[in-house]
Structure formats: structure tokens, C-alpha cells
A and B are shown apart, each in its own frame.
Chain A
Amino acid sequence: MASLLGRFCRKLVVPGSAHGSRMVSTTACDSEAVKSLNLYSAINQALHIALETDPRSYVFGEDVGFGGVFRCTTGLAERFGKNRVFNTPLCEQGIVGFGIGLAAMGNRAVVEIQFADYIYPAFDQIVNEAAKFRYRSGNQFNCGGINLVFNLPSKSLLLIRLLFIGLTIRAPYGAVGHGGHYHSQSPEAFFCHVPGIKVVIPRSPREAKGLLLSSIRDPNPVVFFEPKWLYRQAVEEVPEHDYMIPLSQAEVIREGNDITLVGWGAQLTVMEQACLDAEKEGISCELIDLKTLLPWDKETVEASVKKTGRLLISHEAPVTGGFGAEISATILERCFLKLEAPVSRVCGLDTPFPLILDAIKSTVNY
């Protein structure tokens, strides 16, 4: 026990929600400083904070040292040193495997896969190793974090989480148009089928910073997909301080009565536009950002559909076997008698993602 504590013990954090991450207000107080940032800068800020607050955290991946191909890791190597922020060989299975080893020794490994399209060589390490590391060892080992439960004299059970560890895998996902087959993929559905990991997708700069910090500090391995289309496109007021947005909590970002729309990531900007268009025709849309796909917040979606009676899910990934199918099946089970219409999915076509020139992009209307 003592050796276990010695290895993993670092900081005590009082528990928050049942899912463990601290509940923090998602809106910044007026007195808090905010800055107008794009997505990659918000992510960069989150990484700076993560490395600053935890001396045992590491950021690495291909080309991460000079700032990364999307500038997400700018300034980290200069500030925290090449021992903690470094380039790796071109080998995704090695990157994730190495990260698992680091995390299993009580460190936070924030690993970057250059494009989600290239995550597959690491799939074995993610599915067979990271996801099962804790379970298969009977909780003797993990690459996420550790829980200790003490029975206090007052007979209350206090859950003390010793946070320190964590494997987070970040990867840019989604279409930009000129990416073609291998720089545009949305592979989230593959990972949503893996018990033991979490899958998180932010929709905007402010969300990204809070969700990334939660993911890094979550005691489970997390796959964090960043909508690359928004890296420069999206600009938002982002609080400068250290804040976390809880995982597995969906958010109703627009209230409405006639239909529930569910999405995540870059698709929400498209859906927001669709909501405005629908409003002109007198349709009131309720829009939900799922944020965490695994484990996902069924209650929020269920409550919304029970109110509106209709559900439409939209994601960039191909429709067949996409995560929308899971949401549809679950909501059908829970809200069948309340539904006025079949659950609708407006998703990607069942093709490899083709090259889309800018001129045609605007007509691709999901």
C-alpha cells in the first residue's frame, strides 16, 4: 500500500460529480480575464496549463517540438524543456505504447496523433492495452488514475482521488475540404465501441480548453478529437484561468420545442445555421452538444426528446455504423411512446471522404 501511495500519490482532490471531474462553471465570471482565441490557441493554452500545474506531465508526438503542424504545441518545448515536450519517431503504435508506459508509472502523457486518419496503427495499443489496463490487472495497474476509498470514523465514505496519471490521445479530425481520404476522417465511432476509454469532442475554443483539461486530468484514458476545420476558423472569448468542463455532460446550447438536434464538434456550427434557417419556417429547434461520446449523457437527450417528440442526429462520419445509430437506438428504447416521428440521421455518405474544392463546399449541406 505504501509503495502504491508512493508511486501514485501526488495531490488530493476533493470529489465533485459522480464522474469525478470537478464541476466548474462553464461561463467565466465578469472579473475573470478572457482573451479572444482560436481553437488551436485555446488548446495550446490548455496544454501550457496542464504542464505547468503538473510537473509529471509530458506532451509528445510527431513534430510536436517546433509547435506541431497545427501549432497546438507552440512554445511548450521552449518553456518546459525537451525532456517533457519532444518529437517522437514516426510510429503511432510506438507513440501510444510509450504513452501507456509513462502513464502506468504515474505520469500524465498527452500524446498527439498528427491526424485522426493515422490513429489506426495505435488501435491495438488503445483497445487491447490502454482500455483494459486497469480492468485486466484487477486495478493493480492503470494508465488513468487511482482511487482510494477510506472509511472515516464518522462512518461517511470519502472518495479520495489521487490524480496524477492519465493518458490522453489528441488528434485533429474532420473535413476541411482539401484533405481528401486521409486528412478528413471522423473515426470516433470505432472508439465509442471500446469499454474502458472515453471519447471527447469539443465544439469551440472555450469548450476545447475546458474539456481538454478535464480529459488530461481524468483518471481514464481519453481520446480527444479536435475539429481541425475550427483550428483557425473559430474564434471565441476564452477565459485565461485554469478551468475544467465536466465530461459525460451534454449541453443544450439552444432551446426549442419542436425538434431535438444532437451533434458534436464542427458539425454544430452547421447545425446552428440549420436552426436559424428552420426558425424562418417557424420550426423551433433544440440543439444539444453531446461533448462526450463515451460514456454519453443519455439523460439530457432523453429529457429533450420527451419534450419535443422528435430527434435528428447529425455527424460528419459516414451514416452506416456511425455513432448516430447508437443514439438513435437508445432514444428509441427510452422514448418510443413520446416520439412523433422516426429518428432522423443526417450524416456523411458511405464513401471514403473525397476531395471537395472550396467552390463546392458550400453546397455540401448537412
Chain B
Amino acid sequence: MAMWFARSRNLVSILRQNLGLSATLIKRNHSSPRPVFTNYQLSSRVFLDPSASFRHESTAVETQPDLVQQSDHEDDAQELDFPGGKVGYTSEMKFIPESSSRRIPCYRVLNEHGKIISDSDFIPVSEKLAVRMYEQMATLQVMDHIFYEAQRQGRISFYLTSVGEEAINIASAAALSPEDVVLPQYREPGVLLWRGFTLEEFANQCFGNKADYGKGRQMPIHYGSNQHNYFTVSSPIATQLPQAAGIGYALKMEKKNACAVTFIGDGGTSEGDFHAGLNFAAVMEAPVVFICRNNGWAISTHISEQFRSDGIVVKGQAYGIRSIRVDGNDALAVYSAVRSAREMAVTEQRPVLIEVKTAMTYRVGHHSTSDDSTKYREADEIQYWKMSRNPVNRFKKWVEDNGWWSEEDESKLRSSTRKQLLQAIQAAEKWEKQPLTELFNDVYDVKTKNLEEQEVGLKALVEKQPQDYPTGFHI
């Protein structure tokens, strides 16, 4: 059924292009004007073409119910001229309500059964892309499972899963170009996976061995790769947001067909850097896509204890930033939203905010291996979301319904990935660690005198008392 709809839409688009049929051929049920890209704009050729000069019209923004209803007391003819522009005045004293009567709706394309909702706007995804997306989502699942187990076994010191957030990770990455610069928070390894980071490279960082690009200095999951335009993860929350504004600005100044893309969780939006980042990006007109993963929890803190707004999407307007709320369990919706946001950011040189929530990307896993979330959540709650709102299952159903994936493919993928991971872990574990000298490099571009002295001192100490240091520890 879904396939028929998809085909019929494509058929119509072909007709429209070739015969110049009017847009009224497809009837839309909704009364209010809808954000629609013309089929010309939706064709992948145009999107992938960097020289495409079309601009998303401002009508691509949903007309929102006015914050302040015009009243009888308002006198349009009289305006006050203040810094910031003219503004009408009213003699009715009315406060803007603390929240809108209607919550911002969530954009979704696939329903819970993996079927495309009729008349949804979305950017078509080819078989090749869809299969790749699914494979990567499944790979991420396997990777998370195995690394998590490795941590429980004491083989790595720490791990953080992206369980329930596979669609956010993979679909957003798929929607970007490789030149887009990514500044992660820490729950986005799938973006790096999509860009080509290997399972071996992930394992090396988690084990902090000599092959780790970070030279063994940081905790596990603090990945970074300049080759993949993925900035190194740092533990402090939200610090990457104003940096993303600076990076977006740099890309704008270089006239690159690229933007900065940065991720943050629901908790992180309470940080001052969230405000700083969005405000700077808006004022500097920097091409930045801010993606907020709202999974409802910041460790043990529920969002009701985090903010009193209607989530994060409403905050965008406060900064003059276009925003959208998306179902994070729906890979197609995430893909379309991020793709559109990215194009807007680059072609219009502006920031865009995406709240990936929806019935939320539910954080099925614990916050990290240092957390046991059954302490603050009912086990039943976790189970419900696990089954019914699983982004991987939902996308899998759609891909399978299209005839692009089979159970055979599934078991082949999962077992080979698992095998590859176990091998990667075994190899990474055996690989020697960084030599002591790397402790002192890269603090500055060139080692300073005090560091040289300290290195000499430490080496002498290690040589004098080798029994105090782990076996295999080398200078």
C-alpha cells in the first residue's frame, strides 16, 4: 500500500513535469497552507547539485498561530518607532500566555507500523540509500550492544549507548554532505559511523591504545576525526554550540557549500552555552543546524524538571531561528527535516533548530554505564517504548515492505557485524598503549620547558620503581 502511494506520487510528479499539469491534481486534505517543496525542488539531482540556486521560500515556514491575537483595542494606524523597528501599540493590557494553546505538532512520515502516512511531505529515499541507512542503524545497534557488554565485563572503562536514537544518528548523517562540519555532544557515534569510521577505529578509542587518534587521552566514546569532519567529543555539555556558530560563520566566509551541524540533548538546552550558541548563530547569520535530541531525560532528571516550555522547538523563535519538531523514531522524517534544514542553512545563510522528539526518541538505555535507570523509571515504561516506538524496527518494516530487505539479509548483517566487532575488540585490547611521552605532547604546539622537565622526572621515577606501574607500560 505504501509503495503504491509512493509510486503514485512519483507518477504524478513525472506527469507534472512533462505535461505541466497544475498542482491541483493532488488534493490535500488540510485547510491551512502547508509547507511544500515543489517536486522540482525535491528531486535529488537538485538537492545534490551545489550550484542549484533555488532558495527555499519563506513560505516554507509553517504559518503559526499568532502569539498575540489582534484585538479591537489595537490601532494599526498608530505605530511606535523604537530601536528594532516599528511596532503597533495597544491600550489593552494583555500578557502573552506562558504557553500556546496548542503544542507544536510533531512532523512524521512513517506511522508505527512502518507505513508512509498518506499525503505526507517527505523527500524520497532511494533503495540504495534506504538499505544503507537501515544497515547502519542495525550496525549501530550491534556496536552499542557489544561495547556495552564489554564495559560490563570490565574490558573498557566506560560506554554510552545510543539505543532508541539510531534514527537520529543515521538519518541525520545521511541527510548531510561530507563537507558539513559536525560538532557532536556525545550520543552521536552513528554520525561518525555513517561517514566511514570503522568498528576498529571505534574500538581503538574505547581502549585508548596506540592506534587511537586521540592518543589515549580521553575516556571511551570521546571520538573525533578530522578526516570525517567530526570534531572531538568533550564531556562538558553544550560547549560545542557557540563553537558551531563560529564554524558556520567560517564556512560562510569561505563561501563553502557546507554548514555546521551540532547536537545537544534536552538537558543541554538549559546551559548558558545553548543561549549563547543560538543567539550568536542568529545574529551572525551563520549556517548552523542545531539538532536537539529530546529523549526526555538528563540522567535522572525528567524534562519536567528541566524546563517549563513546550520542549525546545518553541525556543527557536525567541532567537529568530526557524525550528521544527520531528519524530525521532521515524527515520524518513528525520532525514527529510535535516536535509531541508541543511539546505536552508546553506542557501539562506541562517541557523535552523530541529527538536527531534516526537513521542520522543525514548532513551531506552541508561544514561551511561554509570547509571541504572530502573532506579528512576518503571521497568514497564521502558518495555513499552522498546517495542512500540523502536526506530530501527519501524524503518525496517518500511524497507522490508518495499522488498529491499529480507530476514536473511538481517541475520547475515547482524552476525557478520557482531563477528567483526568481537575481532575488533580483541585486537584493540591487545594493541599496546601510547608511550609515556604522549602524555606531554600537544599540550602546546611545541613542548615547553616545564613539560620537558616533568617528563624527565616522570621517566626517572618509572625507571626507578617499575613495580608501581602496569606491566607493558612503556616510556
Contact = CB atoms under 8 A, between A and B. Distances in A.
B279 A138 contact: no
Contacts of B182: none
B445 A94 contact: no
Interface string B227-244: 100011010100101111
Contact of A138 (B217, B254, B443, B445): B217
A97 B277 contact: yes
A219 interface: yes
Interface residues of A, number: 55
B445 A125 contact: no
A105 B248 CA distance: 10
A291 B227 CA distance: 38
Interface in A12-67: 18-20
Interface residues of B, number: 49
A328 interface: no
A146 B445 contact: yes
B284 interface: yes
B279 A91 contact: yes
Contact of B250 (A94, A107, A132, A136): A107
Contacts of B246: 97-105, 109
Interface stretch (B40-48, B145-153, B207-215, B289-297): B207-215
A121 B239 CA distance: 12
Interface string A141-174: 1101111000000000001010000000000000
A93 B246 CA distance: 12
B253 interface: yes
A101 B243 contact: yes
B250 A196 contact: no
A1 to B, nearest CB: 9
Contacts of B248: 101
Given A91-B279, A98-B249, A125 B446 contact: no
B306 interface: no
Interface in B203-228: 212-215, 217-218, 222, 224-227
A93 B273 contact: yes
Interface in A73-128: 83, 86, 88-89, 91, 93-94, 96-107, 109, 121, 124-125, 128
Contacts of B446: 18-20, 147, 159
B232 A140 contact: yes
Nearest to B244: A101
Given A97-B246, A98-B249, A99-B246, A139 B442 contact: yes
Contacts of B249: 98, 101-102
Given A98-B243, A140-B232, A220 B445 contact: yes
A141 B467 CA distance: 36
Nearest to A87: B283
Contact of B448 (A100, A140, A295): A295
A140 B225 contact: yes
A141 B226 contact: yes
B245 interface: yes
B242 A93 contact: yes
B214 A138 contact: yes
A20 B251 CA distance: 29
A144 B445 CA distance: 8
Contact of A129 (B213, B236, B448): B236
B445 A134 contact: yes
Contact of B444 (A99, A125, A141, A220): A220
Contacts of B284: 86, 98
Interface string B416-442: 000000000000000000000000011
Contacts of A101: 242-250, 260
B424 to A, nearest CB: 19
A298 interface: yes
A1 B277 CA distance: 30
B280 interface: yes
Interface of A: 3-4, 18-20, 83, 86, 88-89, 91, 93-94, 96-107, 109, 121, 124-125, 128-129, 132, 134-142, 144-147, 159, 161, 195-196, 198, 219-220, 248, 295, 298-299
14 contacts: A88-B283, A93-B272, A94-B242, A102-B250, A105-B247, A107-B253, A125-B239, A125-B242, A136-B234, A138-B213, A139-B442, A161-B445, A248-B449, A298-B449
Given A101-B242, A101-B243, 13 more contacts: A3-B227, A19-B448, A94-B280, A98-B245, A98-B280, A100-B243, A106-B250, A125-B242, A128-B234, A138-B214, A141-B224, A219-B445, A299-B449
